[in-house]
Every structure is written in C-alpha cells, then in structure tokens.
Amino acid sequence: MTQLPGLLDTEAIRKDFPVLDRLVHDGRKLVYLDNAATSQKPRQVLDALSEYYERYNANVHRGVHVLAEEATALYEGARDKVAQFVNAPSRDEVIFTKNASESLNLVANMLGWAEEPYRVDHETEIVITEMEHHSNIVPWQLLAQRTGAKLKWFGLTDDGRLDLSNIDEVITEKTKIVSFVLVSNILGTVNPVEAIVRRAQEVGALVCIDASQAAPHMPLDVQALQADFVAFTGHKMCGPTGIGVLWGRQELLEDLPPFLGGGEMIETVSMHSSTYAPAPHKFEAGTPPIAQAVGLGAAIDYLQSIGMEKILAHEHALTEYAVQRLQKVPDLRIIGPTTAEDRGAAISFTLGDIHPHDVGQVLDEQGIAVRVGHHCARPVCLRYGIPATTRASFYLYSTPAEIDALVEGLEHVRNFFG
Amino acid sequence: MYQEVILDHYKNPHGRGLRDGDAEVHHVNPTCGDEITLRVKYDGTKIADVSYEGQGCSISQASASVLNELLVGKDVTEAQRIQETFLELMQSRGRIEPDDAMEEILEDAVVFAGVSKYPARVKCALLSWMAWKDATAQALGGAEAERKTA
C-alpha cells in the first residue's frame, strides 16, 4: 500500500461510513470519487438525524411543550456549532438556508431591495469570476437584469487561476459587490482572497465568498477572510441535503431588508404592515430544515473530532499523489492547476478525444464513481475549449489505493475506445 | 451498453459532415453538452441526404451515424415509422427485448436497446433523431412542426 505523509487513518474513518462498504455492478468495490458533488455521511450524522425524529421532533420557536423546547435547543445548538466552526464573532450572524445556492440568491436579493449605501442599481457594478459555479453566476445575472447594474468578471489564466492583472479596472468605485469562489468546484483552484478583498475594501464594495468547496476541506475563518458574506452547504461536508449556511456581518444583517416573508421572521404583523425579527430570524421565513440543521451540527462535531487541519493535510497529500499519477496517463490533460499548490482535491481532466460521458460510464462499470459534464461551470469549459470534463474529487476517507484504481480504470477506458 | 456495432459507428461514422440541405437545426443535450447541427435534403418525400456535424459521447455520435445509414433513401413516412419505433425502444427503460419485427424495422439501431437501461444516456441516443424530426418538420413545412432549435 502506498504510504504518503499526512494521511489520516482511513481504515478507521471508513468504518464510520456505511455506504463505502457497498459493492456495485456484480460485486465490485465502490470507489467513490464524486465528493465535490456530495460527500457520504458518517454513522454519527445518520444517528443524529434518526434520533432527532425518534425522540425530539417538534416545530421550533413556537411551542411551550417539552418537545418544542428541546427541538428549539437542538436547532439553535446547531447554529452555535456552525458559528464556532467558521469562527463567527456572533451566533446571530449564522443564517440557515436550504443550500449554498439559496444563500447566494439571498445576498443578491438583499442588495437588490436594499436602501443606500448598499443598493445595487443601474449606476453600479457587480463583479464575479469566470470560474464560478452557476449558483454564483445566475443570481447576479438576474440581479443585473432586474436593476440595470453592470455585471463584470475576472477571466482565467491558461493554468487555471484567476487573472487579476486588471483588478483595478474590474473592481472600481462603481462596484457594489464582489462575489467569488474560494475553491473552484471544477478547476480545484484555491483563490487569493486577500488581494481581492483588499481592492474591494479600497472602493467600498461588499465581498461575498462561495465557500462550498472550502468548508468541507479546510479550516474556515470568516474573520480572517475579512469577507462580508460567506456561503456554503451542508451536504458536501458530511451533513444531510437541504441545509445550507449564509454567514453575514452583523451590522449588514441588521441594515439589509428581508427577502422571503412568512412565519418566524416577524416581530409584529397587522393587515397593513409588519416589523421584522432581528437577524438571523429575519432571514429564516417559515419552518426551517430542523432535522437537517441538527444533522449538520453532528457533521461539524464529526469533522472537528478528526480536525480540519488534518483533513486538509490528508487531501493535500492525496492531491499531490493524484496529480502526479494522472499526468502519466497518456493523452490525459488536467484542466486546472497541475500541481497541488493552492489547489483543492477536485481534479478535472480530459482524456484524448474520448467524451467524458464515455469515460464516466466505463469507469462506473468498474465501480468507480466520478462526475462528468460541465459541473455547473459551463463558462470554464468554454474558456478552455472543451465540451466537458471528467472530475475525480477526494475527501477525508479517500485513499491512495482509490487513486490507483482510478488510474487503472482510465487505462481500461483508453484501451476500450482506443 | 457499448456494443461492437456502436463502437464501429463511433469510430467510422457514416455521412458525417455538413452538406446542402432544405432545413438545418441545432440541438443540444444540456446535461452533458452533446451538440448536433443536422441538415435534411428532400427529393419530394424521399430523403436525399441527412448531413450532420457535432460533438459528444460515443452514444450520441454513433446514433447519428446509424440514423444516416438507416434513413437516407427512404420515404419520409417510412422514416417516421422507424423514428417512432426507435423512440419507443429508447423510452422502454430496458423493458423491450427487440423481436424480429422490430429488428427488421430498426436494423443496426436495435443495438441501442441496452442504452435504454441508462436513463442518463437515453437523451444521448435520441439527440440526432429528435433533430432529424425537427428538421423534417421544417423542411416539409408540417403544420405540427415542433420548432425547438436552440
């Protein structure tokens, strides 16, 4: 077995993830390399979900009975865990949403309906980048179309990094918001937050960071990032689907208007008008995803019991090994950085002229699960002149042996279509 | 799924390349980025040519090649019957085992029966066939033409 420095004890960790024992396609061992799409869930999270429903289920913030109080304590306890996980100055800065897309749409809508000085209108500009997931492109396109604001973006270099050479022309005095991804879901690139934040602060623009591919894989400190908003999702970090997070700076959350109206987000309601609850409840209309928040809290406990620094080191070692092995596969071209430096554990590639759907299908026949397509980042495919990519992405339970299986699988694909 | 016949058509496609036509359509399969530009040329109601250019997976490319081989030279009524039979087979979720009658209609296209078990790939196999149907409706000016050129 390949030994790499910094690896976690995956033999122990994998015992926590029941699905990793599955055999697929007539007894082949599952090799799950689609972690950037969603992670698998440990027993600890699955137990927290069923325990919640079996023992505590009630609606939150409204009953006086025992279950309602316990369910509320569990839900709000999950908020405490998230706040501590991202080093938020206050727990009231943590808004639960259903996913990162909703978090980003929430920011776009807050700014579209805001008063000065936050208001995005026809005289202002929005800045994103060419490597965004569609969830951090389309909400801003919608906002630009509805307000007349101008949408601008940073392009990419040939080696898969942000081209910041024209940063002073892209981010200007007219810029109201700069929204960008911390770790690209398709290229794997880790972006230079500090340079972008510095320029945004110079011109007084707000900064929103999509941390969907960062929160599961590395320590996340919203104060160190110096952003105004940070969005991520639970299901990529061992939590259930249906729960996302938006962290926002407290004074902004106090000033900015609500987006969705409904129960729970109000202070008083009359037939003519309403006043709103303080953040975060102002932004959480309706019954929230209670069990899912509890599950996310359990996922955070699980990840922290292993340690985010250790998870980062584990994935870095795997990425270094994978990049080096994949580059030896004939006709394989990595789309994105070709070293492990400032790089996450999602690796996209093309394999000669073989279409990624064919690559993915033949790998699947060998039990290897990868993602194929444009990964909700079609502008990246257009930028590099490719229709789609195959993407392998790793997590805390991934092993060097699985990378070996991938490389062998790709040899088989080449022979099959060669 | 990857029958020898499919791989043969993928590696040596029939009638690939754009030639003169009466109508042209461009169809895409947004889930995987397969694209096809397809032209039909009619001589009365007889299909004189189906020419195409595109990019995509082996299933989508082989299917376009089979379509060309099967439909060129046929009358539109017969071609429509073939298209409908192919559609029925592809939407069968693997439940139709092609019999002799179906094999007689579909010829090489029966090898796609296995693809119908993979929901994610059915659209790949149908891409060129839906494009052909659309182009034919435009070329022959059918009242119920389903125009959805992208």
The ipTM of this complex is 0.79
One domain, residues A109 and A230: yes
- What pLDDT sits at residue B2? 85
Rounded Cα distance, A319 and A40, in Å: 19
**Number of C-beta neighbours around residue B43 at 10 A:** 10
Same domain, A64 and A174: yes
Q: Which of A358, A387, A388 sits opposite B58 (nearest CB)?
A: A358
Q: How many CB pairs under 8 A join A and B?
A: 43
Question: How would DSSP label each residue in A237-254?
Answer: GTS-SS-EEEEE-HHHHH
> With a CB-CB cutoff of 8 Å, which residues 118-137 of chain B face chain A?
118, 121, 124
pLDDT class of B3 with cuts at 50, 70, 90? confident
Whether the per-residue pLDDT at B17 is higher than 70: the answer is yes
**Residues in chain A with pLDDT < 70?**
1
CB proximity list for B9: less than 8 A, separation 6 or greater: B61, B62, B63, B65, B66, B69, B108
Residues A145 and A17 in one domain: no
**What pLDDT shows up at residue B142?**
55
pLDDT, position B146: 45
- Which residues of A fall within a CB distance of 8 Å from B114? none
Q: Is residue A178 part of a domain?
A: yes
Query: Do A361 and B31 make contact, defined as CB atoms within 8 angstroms?
Result: no
pLDDT(B149) > 50: no
Q: Are residues A212 and A120 in the same domain?
A: yes
Identify whether A106 is part of a domain: yes
Same-domain pairing of A26 and A63: no
- Kindly state whether residue A262 falls inside one of the protein's structural domains: yes
Closest Cβ opposite residue B32 in set A362, A373, A417: A373
Q: By residue range, what is the domain housing residue A179? A: 46-304
Last residue of a domain, one of A250, A282, A304: A304
d(C-alpha B59, C-alpha A170), whole Å: 43
Of A361, A373, A417, the CB nearest to B33: A373
Q: Taking CA atoms, what residue in A is nearest to B55?
A: A387
Q: What is the pLDDT of residue B148?
A: 41
Nearest to A42 by CA among A15, A7, A5, A71: A15
Residues of B in contact with A354 (CB under 8 A): 58
| Final residue in a domain of this structure, among A254, A286, A304 | A304
Q: Where are the beta strands (DSSP E) in A10-166?
A: 23-24, 28-29, 31-32, 94-97, 125-129, 150-154
Residue after which a domain boundary falls, among A277, A304, A331: A304
Strands A125-129 and A175-181: parallel
Is residue A270 located within the same domain as residue A287? yes
C-alpha distance from B103 to closest chain A C-alpha (Å)? 26
User: Both A273 and A258 in a single domain?
Assistant: yes
Is residue A371 in some structural domain? yes
- Rounded to the nearest angstrom, the minimum Cα separation between B14 and chain A is 18
The reply to whether A300 and A191 lie within a common domain is yes
CATH number of the structural domain spanning residue A296: 3.40.640.10
Q: What is the pLDDT of residues A24-79, one digit of tens each?
A: 999 999 999 999 999 999 999 999 999 999 999 999 988 889 999 999 999 999 99
Residues A234 and A148 both lie in one domain: yes
Residues near B107 by Cβ (< 8 Å), separated by ≥ 6? Answer: B69, B70
B140 touches A at CB < 8 Å: no
Per CB distance under 8 Å, which residues of A are interface residues toward B?
A: 354-358, 361-362, 372-374, 378, 381, 387-388, 416-417
Annotated catalytic residues of A are 376
CB proximity B49 to A under 8 Å: no
CATH topology of domain B4-139: Sufe protein. Chain: A (3.90.1010)
Are B42 and B48 contacting, i.e. CB atoms less than 8 angstroms apart? yes
Claim to verify: residue A322 and residue A217 sit in the same structural domain: no
Indicate the pTM of the whole model: 0.91
Domain count for chain A, please give it.
2
Indicate whether A291 and A408 sit together in one domain. no
> Based on the domain organization, do A242 and A335 belong to the same domain?
no
CB atoms within 10 A of CB A108: 25
CB contact under 8 A, A387 and B7: no
Q: Which of A354, A358, A376, A384 would you mutate first to test chain B, the one with the most B CBs within 10 A?
A: A358
Whether A417 sits inside 8 A of B33 (CB atoms) is no
Q: Does some domain include residue A41?
A: no
